[in-house]
Amino acid sequence: MQRRRVLQAVAAGAASLSLPSFAQAWPARPIKLVVPFPPGSSPDIIGRLVAEPLAAALGQPVVVDNRPGAGGNLGTGVVAKAEPDGYTFLFTIQGPLVTAPMLSKNLSYDPAKDLAPVSLVATSPNVLVVDPKLGAATLADFVRIAKQKKGELNYGSVGNGSASHLAMESFKSRAGIDLVHVPYQGFPQVVNAILAGQVQAGFMVPGIAMGQVKAGKLNALGVTTLGRASSLPEMATLAEQGYPGFEAVSWQAVLAPAKTPRPIIERVSRELVRIIKSDEVRSKVLGQYFSAAGTAPEALATLMKAEREKWGQVIKAAGVQPE
């Protein structure tokens, strides 16, 4: 009996040491950071900004692997099915994590079960832009004109269920206006559609919108953060222009396959928080109109849950159907 207890104690001790020992030996080879969007896209740019310093911190190359397709769902599915050995991570926006399960009929993964949160990396407002020819210099002007031309104005988005689509559906409900949705493949196409007079408005990421705004080709009416965005402090929020509580923030985060050893997730999370909050990286991120975040895994998990609930209600109210 005594011998059995000793053996059980030894076995328990070995088990308790297994994960930390594994984490100490990790990483022993290059790490893959899957970005489920094409080179030059916003998540690709921010992902590469953190990949190099992360490689230096971990002592192994961090290789960015672009896997675009299906609005980010393709590459996300690749990571969800990857070996949970600490050598594959995902760098993505919120769409594949939040709205995809509600809008994709044949999704190959469940983000709540198949992926482990690591860290929120960066956040960005969306900017409401309109065609200057519409004659709307302010948000109040836009709402007034939209009500006068009920159902006559179009707005562009980057696809059914995208952040730009759902942000406008949410705002339409709050403002009591009726606009026709026209989906496009990307923000450059939305910009071209506005310039051509095919649509009159849209929510866009600042990296795309602000160049056109500065050139006088688009009017910017406000940002979708609750408080002034650090990347655009001079621009008023929709919340302070009569729509309190209105928020539609874009964000980017790092996740890992579920069952990735917890010590590895915690190590990568700590390194990312340190990197993203460093003066050099924070400045570069701000240059892309994003604000550096950096959080513990639990904070990202809480955000994902809250976002699913929030946008699930918008999807239901707007009658957006899965494709």
pLDDT in tens, 60-78: 999 999 999 988 999 999 9
Given this model, what pLDDT does residue 292 score?
94
Given this model, what pLDDT does residue 132 score?
97
Given 3-state DSSP classes, what are the helix, strand and coil percentages for the chain, each rounded to the nearest 5? 50, 20, 35
SS3 198: coil
Tell me the CA distances in angstroms from 134 to 138, 147, 156, one per residue in order.
Answer: 11, 13, 15
The string of DSSP codes covering 53-84 is HHHHHHTS-EEEEE---GGGHHHHHHHHTS-S
Cα 257 from Cα 76, distance rounded (Å): 10
Q: Which residues of the chain are modeled with pLDDT < 70?
A: 1-24
In tens, the pLDDT along 212-259 reads 999 999 999 999 999 999 999 999 999 999 999 999 999 999 999 999
CB atoms within 10 A of CB 117: 23
- The answer to whether the bond into 27 is cis (omega within 30° of 0) is yes
Pick from 3, 2, 319, 1: nearest CA to 161: 319
Cα 151 from Cα 95, distance rounded (Å): 27
pTM attached to this predicted model? 0.87
SS3 287: helix
Q: Taking every pair of C-alpha atoms in the chain, what is the biggest distance, in angstroms?
A: 87
